[in-house]
Amino acid sequence: MTGPLVGAGKNKVPARELPGRIISLAGMITAPPQPPTFLARVPRAVPHQPFHALTLGVFALLITLVTLLKSRFEIAGLWDAAAHQQRSLDLELFNGFIDPVVWYGPLINTFGNTALFIPLGFLLHLLLRHRVNYPILTVFLSAAAVSLGIEVTQFLFALGYSDVDDLLTNSLGGLGGALLAARMRSKGQLGFSLLTLLSSLGVLAVAGVGRVL
């Protein structure tokens, strides 16, 4: 004897099993949602971490060069040192698109600032994904903090243009880099890291030669 059944047709459930079924269903409904797997922590270490750390260190020098040292020297065709020997603060979002000096100037600035932080987000994700619970969010906040630090330093020491656009685009670039790293396989990650290292060394070398000349 299984006791009276509750339900209809093939879905009938013995009455004595009904409380357990209800409790199980309630547990499923009230359980906290789990983040997508590519957003969650990865427990194992990522291969080639020392190399990625080296690349991040070199790339950090490059970011320092192109954000805080533009007023010290210049690279022909990239920036004018004299133009960055000033203090400027712009808190209006995307106002550079209103009557620009050259139509493509705001586009270059927007996409350039976004692209600049993609390698930073990429490398930070590779180094943090097995250390923190939410690496994507951590990288996004880290990129925002780095960008904010740069903008504040530029304003305090009159090192160029402090712009809220830069803060937004840098942060989004860091987020994009983290998402890219999360979706790549190990070989792709290594290739991107190598390309970042070589490119950074190339720009630093050109800057060094320009400084000497």
Q: Note whether 27 and 108 are same-domain residues.
A: no
Spatial separation of the C-alpha atoms in residues 151 and 161, rounded to whole Å: 8
Cβ–Cβ under 8 Å, residues 163 and 86? no
Q: Note whether 128 and 189 are same-domain residues.
A: yes
Average pLDDT along the chain: 82
Number of folded domains in the chain?
2
Spatial separation of the C-alpha atoms in residues 70 and 168, rounded to whole Å: 21
Q: Where in the sequence is the domain holding 183, given as residue range(s)?
A: 49-212
Residue 43 lies in a domain: no
Q: Note whether 139 and 199 are same-domain residues.
A: yes
Question: 172: how many CB neighbours lie within 10 A of its CB?
Answer: 19
Q: Note whether 7 and 84 are same-domain residues.
A: no
Q: Note whether 73 and 17 are same-domain residues.
A: no
Q: Note whether 23 and 84 are same-domain residues.
A: no
pTM: 0.75
Query: In this predicted model, what pLDDT tens digit does every residue of 98-156 receive, in sequence order?
Result: 888 888 888 998 999 999 999 999 999 999 998 999 999 999 999 999 999 999 999 99
pLDDT above 90: residue 47: no
Q: Note whether 87 and 113 are same-domain residues.
A: yes
Residue 140 lies in a domain: yes
Residue 38 lies in a domain: no
Residue 41 lies in a domain: no
Residue 42 lies in a domain: no
Spatial separation of the C-alpha atoms in residues 187 and 196, rounded to whole Å: 14
Query: In this predicted model, what pLDDT tens digit does every residue of 50-81 receive, in sequence order?
Result: 999 999 999 999 999 989 887 776 665 566 66
Q: Note whether 175 and 102 are same-domain residues.
A: yes
* Amino acid present at 110: T
Instruction: Provide the pLDDT for residue 134.
Output: 95
Q: Note whether 114 and 87 are same-domain residues.
A: yes
Q: Which residue has the higher pLDDT, 43 or 160?
A: 160
Q: Note whether 18 and 85 are same-domain residues.
A: no
Question: DSSP letters of the chain?
Answer: ----EESSGGG-EEGGGHHHHHHHHHHHHHSPPPPPTTTS---SPPTTHHHHHHHHHHHHHHHHHHHHSTTT---TTT--GGGGSSEEEE-STTGGGSS-SSTTHHHHHHHHHHHHTHHHHHHHHHHHTTTSS-HHHHHHHHHHHHHHHHHHHHHHTT-EEEEHHHHHHHHHHHHHHHHHHHHS-HHHHHHHHHHHHHHHHHHHHHHHHHHH-
Q: Note whether 86 and 180 are same-domain residues.
A: yes
Q: Note whether 114 and 203 are same-domain residues.
A: yes
Query: In this predicted model, what pLDDT tens digit does every residue of 177-210 receive, in sequence order?
Result: 999 999 999 999 999 999 999 999 999 998 776 5
Residue 39 lies in a domain: no
Instruction: Provide the pLDDT for residue 19.
Output: 62
Instruction: Provide the pLDDT for residue 72.
Output: 73
Spatial separation of the C-alpha atoms in residues 131 and 45, rounded to whole Å: 9
